[in-house]
Structure formats: C-alpha cells, structure tokens
Amino acid sequence: MKSKFKFVIGDIQGCYGEFKSLLKIIDPKKENKIFCVGDLVNRGPESEKVLEYVMQHNIKSVLGNHDLHMMAMILGVHKIKDKNHTLDKVLSKNKRIEAVDYFIKFPFAKELKVNDQRSLIVHAGVLPTWSLQDIHAANEELCELLKKDPEKFLSDMYSDRSKAISKSTNKRNRQRYLVNVFTRMRFLSRKNKLDLKTKTKKTHKNKYQPWFNYQHKCLKDIDNIVFGHWAALNGVTNHSNIKGIDLGCVWGGSLAAINLFDNSVITINSES
Ligand SMILES: [Mn+2]
C-alpha cells in the first residue's frame, strides 16, 4: 500500500511563521502529507496559532515532552514548575480542552511506510534493546494509560520524574521511565539508564553515550529512525539510518522537514 505520508517535520515549538513557510514549499494539500516529530508548542512565540492550524488541517504527530507539558498545564496538573513557558495564549483559549482531546490521540511512536522503506518516528528516541515489537508494545501501553485517565497519567509523570531513569518493576515508575525514553532521552548508559540532565552534544560522563550510538535491535525490521528533541546535535548523529531533525528553530536555528522518499531535507531559517 502506498503511504500518503511523505514529509516528517521537526520540532516546531510555536514557530508558526517558519512552519507556514515550510508548508508553502511542501504543500500538504496535494500528495505530500506531513507528520510531525512532536514538540509542536512551547518556548516559541505563537503556539496557539500552530495548535489551531494542526487541528484545522488534521495534522498528526508523535508526542513530545512539550506537548505533554501543554496538556498537563491545560488540565491543571499542579506539580509542574516552569516559569519559562510561552503558553499563556493557549491556556486562555476557549478551545483548550479540544486541544487536549486532539493531542491525546497522538502516539509516542509511529511507523510510516513509504514505498518499501519503513521509518519509525519518535520524539526523543528508543532503547537499543527494544525490538520493533517491544516499541509498539510500550507505545500501546502508554497510549492506553494516557487516554484512560489523562490527569492521573500526567500528574504521575510530573511527580519526581527525574527519578524514573532506569527500568523498574513498580508500575508507576515503569510508566514514567517509558515516557522519559520516548520524549526526553538524550544520553543513555549501557544498562539503559538515562541521564536527563545533560542537553549538550557531548557528555563527559564516561558511562553515558548518545542513545543512537548503541546497536539498535529494531533496525533489523525497519530502515530508519527519525527523531527530534535534541537541538544541540543540529541533526548530526553519524548514523545514516538514525536521523535527527530538530535543527533548533526556536533557538535561532532552522525548521526542517525530511522527505521520506529520498531522505532529502528542506530547511527554513528561524525568523528570530
Ligand atoms: Mn523535546
């Protein structure tokens, strides 16, 4: 079956002007259906406009940490401490609950097939020890819990979330660890322990490597992993089948879209 998806767009983070400029080039109304890598909102100037546009045009995405953050703020989950958010206009919007209803249907991982090429889209990453089946199972587990009780899911997630850095048999910690892997991971130890503090390109901590530097089991079954979240990389992973497309638009870099047919990348420079 021919997939209609052709482009995957990097972290928009409320950069509406750049997003519209990018859409003008790739034209989603024709054959070129788009999918997003998450973090559609926050930190940038016009999250409310991005939100409105994606809802009107039925644009889908995987969930990023800032998308979850927005939902938690709309639902009034009180454990969040974030003075730097730029979501005031989203929070005062009449349609904010509709935004939660819309975002809540987004998965944490999504497989897209274009011609014979299979790509896995995630916001931050996946564990190297995961098979494709494990990834789908973890995704389904989280999606079900989020839909069942979003307030509980999000308030569990924001309580002591920095402690959920390794595998756990405790159900709540397990859930938080999986969310951290899909939406916040950068550096990982050989034993799948997360370092959520380091956001730079490199780490001095010997035990840790970028998550994509390990051998990934799922790459036996799929051709590519496409992810965002890590602006400091500027897209460089040095692995041809693991593609970072967060080029830091919100930090003055650019907004990227990868063409899944030929792996070419289109970029729009930041307006700020
Ligand atoms: Mn992110």
Of 232, 259, 251, 267, the closest CA to residue 18 belongs to 267
Instruction: Retrieve residue 215's tokens.
Output: 């051998």
Of 16, 161, 164, 197, the closest CA to residue 80 belongs to 161
Express each pLDDT in 153-162 by its tens digit.
Answer: 999 888 776 6
Express each pLDDT in 91-133 by its tens digit.
Answer: 998 889 999 999 999 999 999 999 889 999 999 999 999 999 9
Q: What is the mean pLDDT of residues 1-25?
A: 89
Q: Find the 1 Cα to ligand 1 centroid distance in Å.
A: 32
The per-residue pLDDT for 31 is: 63
Q: Find the 47 Cα to ligand 1 centroid distance in Å.
A: 14
Of 95, 177, 107, 179, the closest CA to residue 136 belongs to 107
Q: Find the 74 Cα to ligand 1 centroid distance in Å.
A: 18
Q: Find the 229 Cα to ligand 1 centroid distance in Å.
A: 4
Alpha helices in 128-226 (DSSP H): 132-148, 150-157, 171-183
Express each pLDDT in 160-181 by its tens digit.
Answer: 766 778 887 788 889 999 999 9
Q: What residues are paired with 269 via a beta bridge?
A: 254
The per-residue pLDDT for 29 is: 65
Q: Find the 90 Cα to ligand 1 centroid distance in Å.
A: 18
Q: With contact defined as beta carbons under 8 Å apart, do 241 and 223 qualify? A: yes
CA angle 29, 34, 36 (to 5 degrees): 145
Q: Find the 26 Cα to ligand 1 centroid distance in Å.
A: 24
Q: Find the 185 Cα to ligand 1 centroid distance in Å.
A: 9
Question: What proportion of the chain, given as a percentage, has pLDDT over 70?
Answer: 96
Q: What is the mean pLDDT of residues 5-31?
A: 90
Mean pLDDT of the residues in the chain: 92
Express each pLDDT in 197-244 by its tens digit.
Answer: 999 999 988 899 999 999 999 999 999 999 999 999 999 999 999 999
Q: With contact defined as beta carbons under 8 Å apart, do 218 and 99 qualify? A: no
Q: Find the 31 Cα to ligand 1 centroid distance in Å.
A: 28
Give the CATH number of domain 5-269: 3.60.21.10
